[in-house]
A = this chain, B = another copy of it.
Amino acid sequence: MLTSQRKALILDRLRWDGQVIAKVLADELDLSEDTIRRDLREMAAEKLLKRVHGGALPLSPELPDFTARQTVSSDAKRRLGTYAAKMIQPGQTVFLDGGTTNAEIARQLPKDLAATIVTHSPTIAGELEHHPAAEVILIGGKLYKHSMVATGAAAMAMIASIRADIFFLGVTAIHPARGFSTGDFEEAAIKRHIAHCSAETYVLATGEKLDAASPYQILPMKDVSGLVVPSDIAEESLAPYRETELALLLA
């Protein structure tokens, strides 16, 4: 194992577990504690972590609960969310994909809107706790931790039994030629499946997602009904999309 691999692993571990213990890691990687300690010392000097007796901690320890909860959404995302929420008519069935942008839709939803919201994200379902008028259908399955959505055969089957009027698809990248894409194969498959089970598909995207491509295509441009982008986006970056069939909506 290379030093830099080890250091990357340490950072990863810090991010997920919130701690690294020298002895444990040495044991696990079958290295002497000294080596680990050396790594930790160096990384502390590079301000990548905080060295403490026995191991190391992340620099900005994400305090449990309260700091994590108050996720601040950018102004652009909130505007996208508000716009999308207004697209939803009473009585409609809406499928909300996972992701922070779609969470913003849930948050901006009028409290008295009587619509059916389907989602495979427990996070988004949680946002809808205090929307008494909304009927929420939760899609079950094996939870894919990275993006916190239910996946797998069970999820696919449950999705197949639902036909939504609108699907708000979350993507990581949009490219005029390569369509809508994301970083995980399984995730791409399930998103595609949802789109096929829905009458219309819309994508909300902040500027930095445009003209980028991720490894796995979800859908080509033509399979998406509309793209919602912040209104303050540069006109020239939109030009390639004006030539496609999809509707460009400015929020």
Q: Which A residues are closer than 8 A to B by beta carbons?
A: 2-5, 8, 12, 16-19, 21, 50, 52-55, 57, 61, 63-66, 68, 71, 111-112, 120, 122-123, 125-126, 128-130, 132, 135-143, 145, 148, 150, 154-155, 158, 161
- Residues of B within 8 Å of A137, CB to CB, are 140-143
- Residues of B within 8 Å of A8, CB to CB, are 61, 63
User: Which of B4, B68, B138 makes the CB contact (< 8 A) with A66?
Assistant: B68
A136–chain B nearest beta-carbon distance, Å: 4
Asked whether A52 and B111 contact (CB < 8 A) given A137-B140, A143-B136, the answer is: no
User: Which of B55, B61, B68, B132 makes the CB contact (< 8 A) with A145?
Assistant: B132
Q: Quick check: A12 and B64 within 8 Å, CB to CB?
A: yes
A38–chain B nearest beta-carbon distance, Å: 13
* Prevailing SS type, chain A contact patch: mixed
Asked whether A19 and B3 contact (CB < 8 A) given A123-B126, A129-B148, the answer is: no
Q: Quick check: B132 and A140 within 8 Å, CB to CB?
A: no
Q: Quick check: B16 and A130 within 8 Å, CB to CB?
A: yes
User: Which of B3, B57, B64, B140 makes the CB contact (< 8 A) with A141?
Assistant: B140
Across the A-B interface, give the 4 residue pairs with the lowest CB-CB distance, nearest first. Answer: A140-B140, A122-B122, A136-B143, A122-B125
Q: Quick check: B53 and A2 within 8 Å, CB to CB?
A: yes
User: Which of B4, B57, B155 makes the CB contact (< 8 A) with A140?
Assistant: B155
State A131–B138 Cα separation when bound (angstroms).
Answer: 21
Q: Quick check: A2 and B138 within 8 Å, CB to CB?
A: no
